Amino acid sequence: MNRKKLIRGVFLLVALGFGAWAIAGRWAQVADGFSRLSWPLLAGSLVAVLGALTAGMLMWRALLADLGSPLPFAGAAKVFFVGQLGKYIPGSLWPVLAQMEMGKDLGVPRSRSAAAFFLTYPIYLASGLLVAAVTLPVFAGDSVARYAWLLLLLPLLAVGLHPKIVNGVIGLGLKALRRPPLERPLSRRGVLASAGWAFAGWLAYGVHLALIAAGLGATGPRALALSLGAFALAWCLGFVIVVAPAGAGVREVAMVAALAPVLDGGSAIAAALCSRLVVSAGDLICAGLAGLAARRAEAVPAAVERHSR
C-alpha cells in the first residue's frame, strides 16, 4: 500500500469514526422522539435526505463542470460524499482538502476543486434564505421575527454571485496564493444550474423534516411549508454563526422556533434532534454507497482488460 492510499484510508477511518460517534452521542437525546415515529415515516425521511444530499452533490458537480472539469456521476459522488465526511473531523478545512486530493486523481486541478467547493456555500445560503423568506413570514410570523436580519444578506448574495464578481474574487485569491488563474471562468448558466439543484435539495430536506413532524403530530400544508422554511433557516443561521461547530445548537434553536406554530416545545425539540441524526446517517450512507459504486466502476475496466489478455 502506497503512502497516498494509507493517508486516505486513515482519513476515511477517522471521519467514519467521528461520524458514528456523532450519531451514537445523540442517541440518548433522540430515543424518545424516534419511539414516536413509525418505521415508514423514518424510512421516508431518510430517503428524502439521501435525495437532498444527492442534489447537493449535483450542485457541486454542475459548478465543477462549468469551471471546466465535468465528472461522471460515480466519480463525482465518491469525491463529494467521501470528502464531505471530513466535516465530522474537528477543523473546517478537511472536506475541501479531501475533495482536492481525490479530485486530482480524476484530473481536476486543486484550484478548481477548491473554487467549486467554496462556491456551494453562498449558493446554498442565498437559495436557503429565499426559501425561508417565502415560507416563514406567512406561516410562522412572530416566532421567527428575531431572525429577520438574515434577509439583509439576500441582496448582497445576489450581487456577489454574479459571475463577473465571482470570477474577479477567485482571480484575486489565486493571484494572492501565487496560483495560475482558472482556465475557464464561471458562467451565468453554471450559477443558475447549481442554484436549481440547491432548490431541489431544500425541497427534499423540507420533506424529510415534514415527515418527522407528521410523526410528532404536525400534518397538513402549513406543517410542510414550515418544515421547508425551518430547515432552510436552521442551516443558514448555523452557517452564518460560525462560532458554533457545524451549526451545533444554533440550528436546533432556529428550527424549534420555526416549528413552534405547529408543534409544542418538546415535540419541536425532538423533531430538530431527530432531523440532525437522520441527516448524519444520510451522510454516512451516501459516502458508503458512492465509494462502493466508484470501486465497482473501476473494477469493470480492469476485469475486461484481464479477460482480453
Q: How far is CA 274 from CA 71, 131, 175, 257, 267, in A?
A: 34, 22, 44, 16, 10
Please check whether residue 25 lies inside any domain of the structure.
no
Within a domain: 200:
yes
In a domain, 195, yes or no: yes
**pLDDT value for 246:** 46
Is 9 within the bounds of a domain? Answer: no
Cα separation, 213 vs 268, in Å, equals 8
- The structure's pTM equals 0.84
Chain mean position to CA 198: 9
Question: Would 6 be classed as within a structural domain?
Answer: no
Q: Which amino acid is at 299?
A: A
Q: How far apart are CA 30 and CA 82, in angstroms?
A: 26
| Domain range enclosing 96 | 36-298
Distance of CA 8 to the CA centre of its chain: 22
- Tell me if 213 is assigned to some domain: yes
Residues whose CB is less than 8 angstroms from the CB of residue 157 and which lie 6 or more positions away in sequence, other chains included: 122, 125, 126, 129
Per-residue pLDDT of the chain (309 residues; tens, 9 = 90+): 466 555 555 555 555 555 555 555 555 556 676 778 888 999 999 999 999 999 999 999 999 999 989 999 988 998 898 888 777 766 667 778 888 888 888 889 888 888 898 899 999 999 999 999 999 987 777 888 888 898 899 999 989 999 999 888 888 888 887 787 778 889 999 999 999 999 999 999 999 999 999 999 888 999 999 999 999 999 998 888 864 444 457 888 889 899 989 998 888 888 988 888 899 889 888 888 877 776 665 554 444 445 445
pLDDT for the residue 130: 95
Question: What span, in angstroms and rounded, lies between the C-alpha atoms of 122 and 140?
Answer: 25
pLDDT for 250 equals 81
Q: How far apart are CA 269 and CA 273, in angstroms?
A: 6
Residue environment code for 184-208, b if the CB has 16+ CB neighbours within 10 A, otherwise e: ebbeeebbebbbebbbbbbbbbbbb
Asked whether the beta carbons of 74 and 61 are under 8 A apart, the reply is: no
Query: What's the grid cell of residue 66?
Result: 462549468
- Residue 72 DSSP symbol: -
Q: Which three cell numbers stand for residue 112?
A: 478548481
Is residue 21 included in any domain, yes or no? no
Q: What is the pLDDT of residue 262?
A: 92
**Grid cell listed for 124:** 446554498
233 domain residue, yes or no: yes
Per-residue pLDDT, 174: 81
Domain count, the chain: 1
